[in-house]
Structure 1
Amino acid sequence: MSDQASDAILKLQNVHTDIAQYHILHGVDLAVERGAVTMLLGRNGVGKTTTLRTIMGLWTAHTGTIHFDTDNITETPTPARARAGIGFVPEDMGIFTDLTVEENMTLAAASGPLSPQRRDWIFSAFPPLKTFWNSEAGNLSGGQKQMLSIARAMAEERKLYLIDEPTKGLAPAIVSTMAAALKELKNQGASILMVEQNFAVAKAIGDYAAVMDDGKIVWSGTMQELATNAALQEQLMGLSMEAAT
């Protein structure tokens, strides 16, 4: 991503991460361009989720550096990374099931009450959240819980959103709603790094792509370049986006 690096909001350089006795990341080099969507792709188990969690500080990089905006955040605690403007949507959603949708959103708006304008925009993106605003989050369907998880990250405007497999296991209609909301977030100028296994969604939303294998980035470039090259897809991931269009 040589073109990205000139205005990257996030840069990882030679990042290594261990989890217990396992060496998961083997020198990750990654740049996320400001105001664009970068898709982090690859087979299961190659280190994509570990990369997001390392960026968020939930796991510690023992070698290498992570720069966010103008700051070196390699050793910055997770809460400080969140306050600096990084929003994280984990694969396990991370919602509070015994609290209402409204209470979940209130907790997510760390700098103050959720503004009416932001709330209305979230309602337009995810209409079920308006319907179940006063319901306990544990009573939502799987797709509605995922909407709430993403909406929590959107409760305030963030500089960077880290989103881990937002459409996994969802019905096609909900996937469409999710993709439309993420497109709108992108259109507002958000910077997004997203792990996604649905290649149709990746192609529709992504500006750039980085492909992981064995704990490192093995290819990076534009999403268009990857999406239009079936041989490259097969070489990198053993998959073809054409099957998902």
Structure 2
Amino acid sequence: MSDTILTLTGVQADIAQYHILQGVDLAVPRGAVTMLLGRNGVGKTTTLRTIMGHLVARQGVIGFDGMDITARATSARARLGIGYVPENMGIFSDLTVEENMVLAAVSGRLLAERRDRIFAAFPPLRTFWTSDAGTLSGGQKQMLSIARAMAEDRKLYLIDEPTKGLAPAIISTMVAALRELKDGGASILLVEQNFAVARALGDHAAVMDDGRIVWSGEMSELADDAGLQERLMGLSMEGK
């Protein structure tokens, strides 16, 4: 495979008494979008949380940009250039949109050029810049969640189901913003249940089942093979 920015080798992780990740092997190419796919409950979110350090890998190695980060704290991983957009959005409802953005910047300040780029990607954030984040709609909160990861350039973006529960018009805005990140050379590991979004954005794909990666390859190969989709994920997504 081409130059990789992230590798997981035999990674195992638990949540309470449950053994969720059972030996994950994954390589995320640099400068591309890798889709992490699979049925609900197979370990996709747990994989992102373990990469970010929210969960401890009890076995295996996590390598990032040539470094072993398996034992590093979440804050250290963020400083190395990993941005994380959790499924629950992770915004501060009692702070303004602007304050949320400033807090997300590792340097502690949001450059005007970066702010304007975010406004171009997500116009509603300009309108609600001084409003409390808790007053935003669900779609606007998701925009803010992704915008927070864009507050500074990251070497790697981990994004968990950014279009979940959103209206089609908001999904289109989200896809356009993620495509802009992609076109700018970003490395992205993206969990997404909407196969049309996965097909539109993904360069590579890895499919999980029962806490392991069971298939990896080009996203186009998976998108074009209904039989492979059914075998790996239990349903055909052809035409979706």
TM class by shorter chain equals over 0.9
Equivalence for 1:94: 90
TM-fit CA distance, 1:63: 0.5
Supply the distance in 2 between the matched residues of 1:70 and 1:101 (Cα, whole angstroms). Answer: 35
CA offset digits 1:23-77 (Å, max 9, x no partner):
0001000000000000000000000000000000000000000000011000000
Q: Which amino acid aligns with 1:184?
A: E
1:169 has 2:165 as partner: yes
- Please list every run of 5 or more consecutive structure 1 residues that lacks an aligned counterpart in the other structure: none
TM-score by length of 2: 0.99
Q: CA deviation at 1:241?
A: 2.5
Q: Cα offset for 1:110? A: 1.7
Equivalent position SS for 2:238? helix
| Offset from partner CA, 1:205-231 (integer Å, 9 cap, x none) | 000000000000000000000000000
Structure 1 residue ranges, 4+ long, deviating more than 6 angstroms after superposition: none
Please give the alpha-carbon distance, in whole angstroms, between the structure 1 residues aligned to 2:152 and 2:221.
33
Alignment size in residue pairs: 240
Q: Where do residues 40-189 of structure 1 align in structure 2 (5 Å cutoff)?
A: 40-189=36-185
Q: 1:20 aligned to 2:51?
A: no
Gaps of 5+ in 2: none
Q: Following TM superposition, by how much is the alpha carbon of 1:239 offset from its aligned partner in structure 2, in angstroms?
A: 2.2
Matches within 5 A, 1:217-232: 217-232=213-228
Q: 3-state SS of the aligned residue for 1:194?
A: strand
Please, which of 203, 210, 217 is the counterpart of residue 207 of structure 1? 203
AA matched with 1:237: M
Q: Which amino acid aligns with 1:99?
A: L
Distance in 1 between residues matched to 2:11 and 2:183, nearest whole Å: 30
SS at match of 1:197: coil
Q: Quick one: distance in 1 between partners of 2:226 and 2:86?
A: 30
Q: CA deviation at 1:19?
A: 1.2
Shift of residue 236 of structure 1?
A: 0.4
Aligned to 1:8: 4
Aligned residues with identical type, % of pairs: 75
CA–CA separation in structure 1 for the residues paired with 2:216 and 2:38: 12
Offset of 1:204 from its aligned partner? Answer: 0.2
Name the SS for the 1:64 alignment partner.
Answer: strand
**Cα shift at 1:145:** 0.2
The aligned residue for residue 35 of structure 1 is 31
- Cα distance, 1:137 vs. partner? 0.3
CA distance in 2, matches of 1:184, 1:238: 32
* Cα distance in 2 between the residues matched to 1:215 and 1:198: 20
